[in-house]
Amino acid sequence: MATVAFDTHDHASCISTALSRAEAHCDQNGLKLTPARRRVLEILLHEHRAVGAYDILEVLRQDGLAAQPPVAYRALDFLVKHGFAHKIERLSAFVACAHPGEKHVPAFLICETCDHVAEATVEVAPKSLCDTAKAIGFEINRTVLEATGLCAKCAPAKS
Amino acid sequence: MATVAFDTHDHASCISTALSRAEAHCDQNGLKLTPARRRVLEILLHEHRAVGAYDILEVLRQDGLAAQPPVAYRALDFLVKHGFAHKIERLSAFVACAHPGEKHVPAFLICETCDHVAEATVEVAPKSLCDTAKAIGFEINRTVLEATGLCAKCAPAKS
DNA sequence: TACATAAGCGCTACATCATAACACCCATAC
DNA sequence: GTATGGGTGTTATGATGTAGCGCTTATGTA
Ligand SMILES: [Zn+2]
Ligand SMILES: [Zn+2]
Ligand SMILES: [Zn+2]
Ligand SMILES: [Zn+2]
């Protein structure tokens, strides 16, 4: 279950399961999965891919919902803050978390051609990084790993 | 914009050494370290922290040099492409490479308060990431690790 | 009930980051 | 010479992200 993005799978149930789990987690922790937040999560889940904030706005607009930038950014902030999504810094885009609820160092395999994103699990930050941090008195809060390259679909097309 | 250079090293020679090495590397590889590129590298070396493209432009402007955005971005593209600098995606900013010429996975410890950046060495991408990549046929080109937190100077102020 | 407080939302306006595209210069190569 | 290609200077524009205001709604308190 390390990754889902490049596999074939039952995507409809993959989405509904993730939504249910998010709802449950919010209920249990006094968080509000408002319609806007829920819809943005749904959009992210629909693609297993990095989606830009303005792409999300485009979808919301088609739904007839409010679609000014802060709408998307506020929902995304909520989702990222509570672990339902991650920001892919290299793409200035967002992706639904593949391991919500589990403590993990997010690690992404980002296809340079099609922007598909696979999320791998890395249990802890590499030792050499932690050693350096300790040596200089740096206190790590959050670690992200981003690898770029070519996915199985796109690699052949490049050769 | 205080200069937060390390107190613990000879920063002037740290800069000039890095510049000399960059010059030598360019000579040996048929690359042109033009005045603009050299000056931008110098600016990055001067701070041991992430510097935004528009901050660099501001310095160039004070030097009386051309200072439209493409000037900075083109120089930065060159420096990043040839390993003299890295882009810190989380900050949309740039930092001189601390290990030029050595093959390495760049790994950064980024202070959330003062933007100070320490570059650690990670020899290879974590095994679990490589395993996932192999399992799904993903071909990794480039891996970057960004850890955010508080540096030794800023951690006490937060507690 | 009445009221205070806080969170969320809709919106305008703006700030920040990055690139497209074109004209010009100049070195090297045929 | 003159074609080619890299680097530069410039204008204009695109893409990404935020501050802040007024409004509504949920929730706690008396
Ligand atoms: Zn799915
Ligand atoms: Zn791909
Ligand atoms: Zn130094
Ligand atoms: Zn700091």
Asked if the model's pLDDT at residue B33 lies above 60, the reply is yes
The CATH number of the domain covering residues in A11-158: 1.10.10.10
Q: How far is the CA of A103 from the C1' of D16 (A)?
A: 29
Residue A123: what pLDDT? 77
Token pair of A26 as six digits: 């919010």
Cα distance between residue B103 and residue B101, in whole Å: 6
> Is B142 in Cβ contact with A149 (below 8 Å)?
yes
CB neighbour burial string for A39-55, b if at least 16 within 10 angstroms, e if fewer:
bbbbbbbeebbbbebeb
**Distance linking the first and last C-alpha atoms of chain A:** 29
Length of chain B: 159
Residue B6: what pLDDT? 40
Residue A108: what pLDDT? 94
Widest distance between CA atoms in chain B: 54
Cα distance between residue B77 and residue B66, in whole Å: 17
From A62's Cα to the closest Cα of chain B, the distance in A is 31
Average pLDDT of chain B is: 88
Percent share of chain A, pLDDT over 90: 56
CB B83 within 8 A of CB B101: yes
Residue B74: what pLDDT? 97
CA of A45 to the centre of ligand 2 (A): 18
- Write the CA distances from A95 to A9, A33, A67, A84, B111, integer angstroms: 18, 17, 19, 9, 25
- Considering the entire predicted model, what is its pTM? 0.88
> Is A129 in Cβ contact with B152 (below 8 Å)?
no
| Chain segment B130-159, per-residue pLDDT in tens | 999 999 999 999 899 999 998 888 887 654
CB B97 within 8 A of CB B91: no
Cα distance between residue B156 and residue B154, in whole Å: 6
Q: Strand C: which positions are within 7 A of a protein CB?
A: 7-13, 16-21
**B156 versus A53: which is more confidently predicted?**
A53
Token pair of B32 as six digits: 């042109």
Q: What ranges do the domains of chain B cover?
A: 11-158
Q: Give the H/E segment covering residue B128.
A: helix B127-136
**B6 versus B36: which is more confidently predicted?**
B36
Can you tell me the mean pLDDT for A49-74?
94
Average pLDDT of chain A is: 89
Q: How far is the CA of A8 from the C1' of C15 (A)?
A: 42
Can you tell me the mean pLDDT for A119-140?
87
Cα distance between residue B95 and residue B52, in whole Å: 9
Asked if the model's pLDDT at residue B14 lies above 50, the reply is yes
The amino acid that residue B107 corresponds to is A
Asked if the model's pLDDT at residue A58 lies above 70, the reply is yes
| Chain segment A19-31, per-residue pLDDT in tens | 999 999 999 898 9
Residue B54: what pLDDT? 97
Can you tell me the mean pLDDT for B7-25?
87
Asked if the model's pLDDT at residue B123 lies above 80, the reply is no
- φ and ψ of B83, to 5 deg: 80, 15
Asked if the model's pLDDT at residue A93 lies above 70, the reply is yes
The amino acid that residue B41 corresponds to is L
CB B117 within 8 A of CB B73: no
- φ and ψ of A37, to 5 deg: -65, -40
